[in-house]
Amino acid sequence: MAYCSVQAAKDAGCTGSDAEVAAWITAATERITAYTLQLFEPTPGMVVVADVAPDGLVILPRRVRSIDSVTPITDGPSDAPSLPSSAYRVTSADVLGQVDAVRIAYGGYNDLVVGAESWNGGWQNLLASYWQPQVTVVGTFGYAEVPALVAQACALLAAHLQAQALPSDADAAQDPGLDVDDEGNNVRIEDTDDDPSQTPVAPLASTGSTQVDALLVGYLNPPPSVVGI
C-alpha cells in the first residue's frame, strides 16, 4: 500500500532508484497512517476492537467500507458467537452526516438464532449472556481512493524523510548546531548558554514536516473517547 507514485515522489525531490524511492514512499505512508489514524486505501480483513456504548453504538476508528463480522469479547473460556448481519446496522462517514460505526440492534430479534428469539428477549437477551463492553469487528476499512492532498503529502514526506536521513551540505550549513570550516568539515558547536532555548518545541503528534501536517490537517481522525467519559 502506497499513497503516491514513484514519479510523484521524485518530482517532490526524492532521489535514487525506483526501489529506493519506493522504500521512502512506504516509510512516508506509514508515518501518515500513524499521524492521521486513517487508511487512505481500502484495507480488507482488518481487525478492530472497539467499545460498546450502553445504547449499542460502536464507534469505529477507521473509515468503514464493509463489515464482515461483529463478535462480543468475553472473559469466559468460550467465545461468544459472531452476530448475524441482521443484528447490527453499519454506517460510514462516506455518507454526509454519518459516522463510522456499528449500531447493535438491541430492540430486534431473530427467531432462527438460539437465544435471540422474539419470545426469549431477542438480541438483548442473547447479548446479555455474553455481555462485555467491547466487540471485535472485522471488515474492510479505508478511503475508496487516495485523496489528492494525501498523495501530495506522501510525495513531499518521502523527500523530507530522505533528506533527514542524508542531509546535504546546504542543510548542514543552515543547521545552527553545526559549523562548517574552510575545508567543508562539519564541527558541532555545543550550546553552553544557561538560558532556556527559544526554539519552539514541535508537537508530538506530527509527521515531522509542518508542510505535510498542514496538508493533512483535514484528515486527522482522533481516537474515540472511552465510553462514559
Give the pLDDT confidence of 126-146 residue by residue, as tens digits: 666 655 578 899 999 999 999
pLDDT of residue 146: 93
Q: Residues 81, 150: one domain? A: no
pLDDT of residue 77: 55
Q: Residues 213, 133: one domain? A: no
pLDDT under 70 in the chain at which residues? Answer: 75-80, 106-108, 115, 123-132, 167-205, 222-229
Is this prediction's pTM over 0.75? no
Grid cell 503529502 — which residue? Answer: 153
How many Å apart are CA 152 and CA 164, to the nearest integer?
A: 18
Cα-Cα-Cα-Cα dihedral sign, residues 221, 223, 228, 229? negative
Q: Which helix (H) or strand (E) holds 137?
A: strand 134-141
How many Å apart are CA 59 and CA 225, to the nearest integer?
A: 9
Please report whether residue 182 resides in a domain.
Answer: no
Q: Residues 118, 163: one domain? A: no
Q: Residues 133, 150: one domain? A: no
Q: Residues 164, 209: one domain? A: yes
Q: Residues 16, 88: one domain? A: no
Please report whether residue 86 resides in a domain.
Answer: yes
How many Å apart are CA 148 and CA 151, to the nearest integer?
A: 5
pLDDT of residue 202: 34
Q: Among the residues of the chain, which ranges form H helices? A: 6-11, 18-36, 122-130, 148-165, 169-174, 210-216
Domain that holds residue 60: 43-141
How many Å apart are CA 82 and CA 59, to the nearest integer?
A: 18
Please report whether residue 29 resides in a domain.
Answer: yes
Please report whether residue 120 resides in a domain.
Answer: yes
Please report whether residue 188 resides in a domain.
Answer: no
Q: Residues 159, 98: one domain? A: no
Residue 108 CB contacts under 8 Å (≥ 6 apart), including other chains: 86, 87, 122, 123
pLDDT of residue 13: 93
pLDDT of residue 71: 85
Q: Residues 57, 36: one domain? A: no
**Residue type (1 letter), 127:** L
Please report whether residue 179 resides in a domain.
Answer: no
In the listed set 97, 123, 141, which residue is the last one of a domain according to the structure? 141
- In sequence order, what DSSP letters do the residues of 156-176 get, joined into one string? HHHHHHHHHHS--HHHHHH-T
pLDDT of residue 200: 38
Q: Residues 54, 120: one domain? A: yes
Secondary structure percentages of the chain, helix, strand, coil, to 5: 30, 20, 50
Please report whether residue 190 resides in a domain.
Answer: no
Please report whether residue 157 resides in a domain.
Answer: yes
pLDDT of residue 56: 81
Domain count, the chain: 2
